[in-house]
Amino acid sequence: MIQAPKGTFDVLPADSARRDQLELQARRILGAAGYRRIETPAFEATELFARGVGEATDIVQKEMYTFDDGGGRSLTLRPEGTAPVCRAYIEHGMHKLPQPVKLWYLSSFFRAEAPQRGRYRQFWQVGAEAIGAAGPEVDAELIVLLAELLEAMGVREVRLRLASLGSPETRSEYRTELTAYLRANEDKLSREVRRRIELNPMRAFDASDPGTQEVIRGAPTLLERLDDEDAEHFAEVQALLSDAGLRAELDPTLVRGLDYYTRTLFEFSSDALGAQSGVAGGGRYDRLIEQLDGPRTPACGWAAGVERILLAGSAQPTAAQIVDVFVARGGGEGGLAFRIAREARAAGLAAQLELAGRSLKGQLKQADRIGARYVAIVGGPDAVSLKEMESGEQRELSPDEVIPAILRGTRL
Ligand code: ATP
Ligand code: MG
């Protein structure tokens, strides 16, 4: 038997109601703030991610689905959304539009990871990017919108952690300092961290082994090394968030698995999730567009995991599907039944047609099961009997009278 590939899942009709709800809330909350939806291709040139996400990141080193397109070009299924959105921003000359350009997406992404609860090989993210503005209110507004979305979806036990990475220059000086510190304490570090000291010393903050954690407790932090402008930007972001009533924990050890961040960095997690606790993450990426050969453009954004939002969200009752009329067939009259259902839909009614060849009794049972308000029983080329399900009242009508009668909603 052929099954869905490991780490993937089907979204069955029963699961799609809450996904629809997430889409609706995202559109409502982000749309109201002036964000407009964007969709980019499911695959891109591999180089976009190698350059945009960063060669040294876990994503690029071991999580990408990369393939040859048959013509010698290397393509990769998108593992994240920011680099593609920036590629589109550059490609379509969006720097000529009024800035910032505010975009959101809801798309699927692909990472070759070990599947577990909340971690899949194809998963969905809802994301927002504000490109072309440097001010701290951009960062704060994005974080507030994300918090609103998580709240609207009933995500429980949410924690917001916040840090600043400063500029690449500060980071590079800090990196030298940290590398020297880690080298001096090399014997206590895990093999994995030791092996990657030069490649990515910041990853030491992510390590869970006691030896590395002990070393990290005494390590210098980047927050202590920010230059004046970066420190001021960060202080303003914090002040705006506190004004908005959002509680954020400063976390100088926050690192994210993408290389493009500058200044503000944040992560929302939920203690309701267990091991895969990250719900959403984001930050400022003022150098990314330049790195992709675009004009130097400040930008900020976030991405939230749809499956994790749904796992950590409260199950809300979903509205039952509305069915105005079920068109049943009493005789052999397929054509008229089909026409009535079609015209009913054209008139804005929700109409379902008998498609399974049930007996009339079976059709009435089906109409009841799906909660249809009316059943139109087509008996002959000209004969329709309209039954109101709640009262049980029934009347003979000509075919043209059926839809007006349902629209009036009057008692028969
Ligand atoms: P994690 O630490 O869990 O690996 P990440 O730092 O790789 O997360 P990001 O790249 O920042 O995650 O993606 C943003 C969000 O997308 C995450 O917070 C998470 O909710 C979701 N996400 C990331 N990878 C997966 C995955 N493999 N399956 C499901 N959701 C994911
Ligand atoms: Mg990851």
Strand partners, 122: 110
> How many Å apart are CA 142 and CA 284, to the nearest integer?
10
Peptide bond into 220 cis (omega under 30): no
Q: What pLDDT does 257 receive?
A: 64
Between the alpha carbon of residue 282 and those of residues 83, 101, 160, 278, the distances in Å are 13, 17, 11, 11
360: number of Cβ within 10 Å:
15
Say what the pLDDT of residue 319 is: 66
| Contact criterion met (CB below 8 Å) for 388 and 379 | no
**How confident is the model at residue 2, as a pLDDT?**
97
Distance 108 CA to ligand 1 centre (A): 12
Ligand 2 centroid to residue 281 C-alpha, Å: 11
Atom of ligand 1 nearest to the CA of 80: 10
The structure's pTM equals 0.87
How high is the pLDDT of residue 283? 97
Alpha helices by DSSP H, listed for 132-167, are 136-152
Q: Which of 355, 332, 357, 344 is nearest to 407 (CA)?
A: 344
Q: Which pLDDT tens digits describe the chain residue by residue (412 residues)?
A: 999 999 999 999 989 999 999 999 999 999 999 999 999 999 999 999 999 998 888 899 999 999 999 999 999 999 999 999 999 999 999 999 999 999 999 999 999 999 999 999 999 999 999 999 999 999 999 999 999 999 999 999 999 999 999 988 898 899 999 999 999 999 999 998 999 898 888 888 888 899 999 999 999 999 999 999 999 999 999 999 999 999 999 998 887 666 678 999 999 999 999 888 999 999 999 999 999 999 999 999 999 999 999 999 987 766 678 899 999 998 766 789 999 999 999 999 999 999 999 999 999 999 999 999 999 999 888 889 999 999 999 999 999 999 999 999 755 5
Atom of ligand 1 at shortest distance to CA of 269? 18
**Ligand 2 center from residue 220 Cα (angstroms):** 25
pLDDT of residue 317: 62
For ligand 1, atom 19, the nearest C-alpha belongs to 305
Residue 172: predicted pLDDT: 86
- CA angle (280, 281, 284) in 5-degree steps: 150
Distance (Å) from CA 339 to ligand 1 centroid: 48
